[in-house]
Structure 1
Amino acid sequence: MFLDLFIYLFNFFLGDSSSLRLETFLNSLWLESTPLGAIDDQIGVITTTALPQPFFEHPSFTNITAQLGTLVILHCKVNGLTDKTTVSWLRKRGTKLDLLSVGLEIYASDGRYSSAFRRPNDWQLHVTGATEHDEGHYECQVSSHPPIVHTVYLHVIAIPELEILDERGLPIKNKFYNSGSTIELKCVISKVPQPTQFIMWRHGTRILNYDTTRGGISVKTDILSDGAKSRLFIANANVHDSGNYTCSLAEVAATSVLVHVLNGETPAAMQHGGSPRSTRLGCLSAHLMLSWLVLHIR
């Protein structure tokens, strides 16, 4: 084995370009026998570890919709922040950027702005009492290298409209029902795209959506692209079901109707949603007309 190694080295070094081959051989032996850190120190190599870059949890652009006068919360969820990076909110108007906050510090002169942090990674900008002037672009910027930006477009819409209809689809402010019948009210909500707020029915101050004390109460709600429809059913109505019924969209808007449950009085009025007084007047008019015809026929 030693003889073979000697023959190999002899042929290797005494061949063509022997000096170059000898240098290559010695360098390879040195690299194999020297620790990597010592090699870096001797040849001046600086080894660095790449730091992880921050990134957003959501897409770089989002749209949100808020009602006029409500609290708006803009979210910026960032992962991978370090103690050397900050999160800022800015308002963009054309090519102009106005600084609103850095971290939890507010720099806007408008007192309706505030900032908050919700664990684990949500840097929020709050806007109290949204107005039409608040509509537009907002930027969440992270001071990494290079910086990253998340843009939010805020749409501010008018206060939604609410209207209560009867079982025939007619708008009402008063409704008469016969005792033992089923109260059916429909609340139509418009001018609010796919409302996320809770739609609530009340009888006086009592919430009916999950009422189990009376029995026979059901609420069915359909969310639509431009609003919502909610139906209230109360079976086997009695006089205790009379009173004010309110349909509300959270604390944003509400409308009411007055329901009367009667024990057999003026059934014609109850069937047509009228009042006892209007029915009596109708009967009196018919009686007078009949009397006039009798006199003239004679």
Structure 2
Amino acid sequence: MMIFKVTAVLSAPLYVFTILLGAGFPTCLGVYEHIKHDIASVTNEDQERFPYFDMDGNNQTVFLGQTAHLHCTVQDIGQRRVSWIRKSDLHVLTSGVLTFTGDQRFSAHHQRDSDVWTLQIKFTQMRDAGEYQCQVNSEPKISYSVFLHVEEAKARIESPSNKEVHVRQRSQVKLTCVVDLGVGQHAAAVFWYLDGQALDWLGQTGPGKGVQVTEQRDNHLISTLIIERADMYHAGKFTCAPSYARPDTVTLHVIDGESRAELQTNSGVVHSSSMFWNLTATLVSVAIWTLIFHHPATQRGAFSSAASPWPSLLSSPSSSHSAPKPLPTSSFSPLWRS
């Protein structure tokens, strides 16, 4: 690539620019606050008619990665020149249709006989947000500020808050992904993935077998994934990934034979039944021990530690057998008194 060095000298106060001419737009290296014009090139008619701005909307919002277009409408500009300046560092980005920055994302656009001067910023980044000045090199100079806002777009799959979707096998599945388009972003695209593998939109092969995708475009891009008959191989993590927005993911569970509600109901019945029998066993045990310790024979110490209490409970008080010696009080105590 051949490079030519051109030096341009403008009227007082003196400004010197070094321009490298190569492929693409000429690039001027340097930081300058103002661009002066050649007074001799301004006609008497231009001096009588002072330029002014059309105060259109001066706020522009784009999503991260999209292309921003900042517009400036100048009336009665004559032979004067329009420059775009980044206010944060006073860097002259463009002058006329020439680019004065090494960042190739910036460029100026102007149609002949048009009053609109546009600064284009491709692949916007968060650091691009801020104030930009459209400046006319009149005497005195006039400027118009445009504010750029850069936001991060996010995809949103309509699903429960826990991002878990449960369906019965062979039932229909519909996943809807909504993405904000922003201004002039009708070429945006959405891609679907199952466990990290791209889905075949025609629904013929791979993990996309039996899957269809439809789209609607308005202020939002709505992409709907439809599975007519869900099978076990459709289970997994479905991801909606727009070309310029943060993706969203849901997990699809395909249940064989029972729906999620039925599984929850059966689980609840089993759990309740288990609690019932545990409570019943506990009450029966308490009743038996209460019967034993409150029996009169027990209160009189009618059985020994070596014999089972049941014969003593069943025997009559008038039995001819001699009563065993009562146990010491300290060796036997009801559980509820301990």
Q: TM-score range by the shorter chain?
A: 0.5 to 0.7
**Shift, 1:179, TM fit:** 2.5
8 A Cα contact 2:62 2:183, kept in partner: no
Specify which of 49, 57, 63 is matched with residue 67 of structure 1: 63
Could you tell me which of 165, 172, 184 is aligned with 1:182?
A: 172
Match of 1:234 in 2: 226
How many equivalent residue pairs? Answer: 227
The one-letter amino acid of 1:101's match is T
Per-residue Cα deviation, 1:141-160 (whole angstroms, up to 9, x for no partner)? 34468877553221233x24
User: Offset at 1:256?
Assistant: 0.9
User: Where in structure 2 are the equivalents of 1:75-154 lying within 5 Å?
Assistant: 75-76=71-72, 84-92=79-87, 98-107=91-100, 111=103, 114-117=106-109, 123-126=118-121, 129-131=124-126, 134-143=128-137, 149-154=143-148
**Larger Cα Rg: Structure 1 or Structure 2?**
2
> What residue is the counterpart of 1:45 in the other structure?
none
How much does 1:177 deviate? 0.9
2:244 partner SS: coil
- % identical equivalent positions: 23
Distance in 1, matches of 2:65 and 2:221, equals 23
Select the residue among 243, 248, 255 that pairs with 1:255. Answer: 248
Q: Is the 1:88–1:142 Cα contact (8 Å) retained in structure 2? A: yes
State the match for 1:5 in structure 2: none
Task: Determine the C-alpha separation between the residues in 2 that align with 1:182 and 1:54.
Answer: 67
Structure number with greater CO (CA < 8 Å, separation at least 6) is: 1
Seen in structure 2, the aligned counterparts of structure 1 residues 182 and 279 have a Cα distance that, compared at 3 Å, is same
- Which digits, 9 at most, give the CA deviation of each residue in 1:148-193, with x for residues without a partner? 7553221233x24544343xxx21333221133332435466xx79
> Does the 8 A contact of 2:99 with 2:108 survive in 1?
no
Amino acid at match of 2:61: T
Q: Determine the structure 2 residue equivalent to 1:24.
A: none
Paired with 1:195 and 1:60, the residues of 2 have a C-alpha distance of: 16
- Note the alpha carbon deviations across 1:12-57, whole angstroms, 9 max, x for none: xxxxxxxxxxxxxxxxxxxxxxxxxxxxxxxxxxxx9957x89899
Separation of aligned partners in 2, 1:58 and 1:248: 40
Q: When the two structures are superposed, what TM-score results if normalisation uses the length of structure 2? A: 0.47
TM-score by length of 1: 0.52
Task: Name the Cα RMSD after superposition.
Answer: 4.9
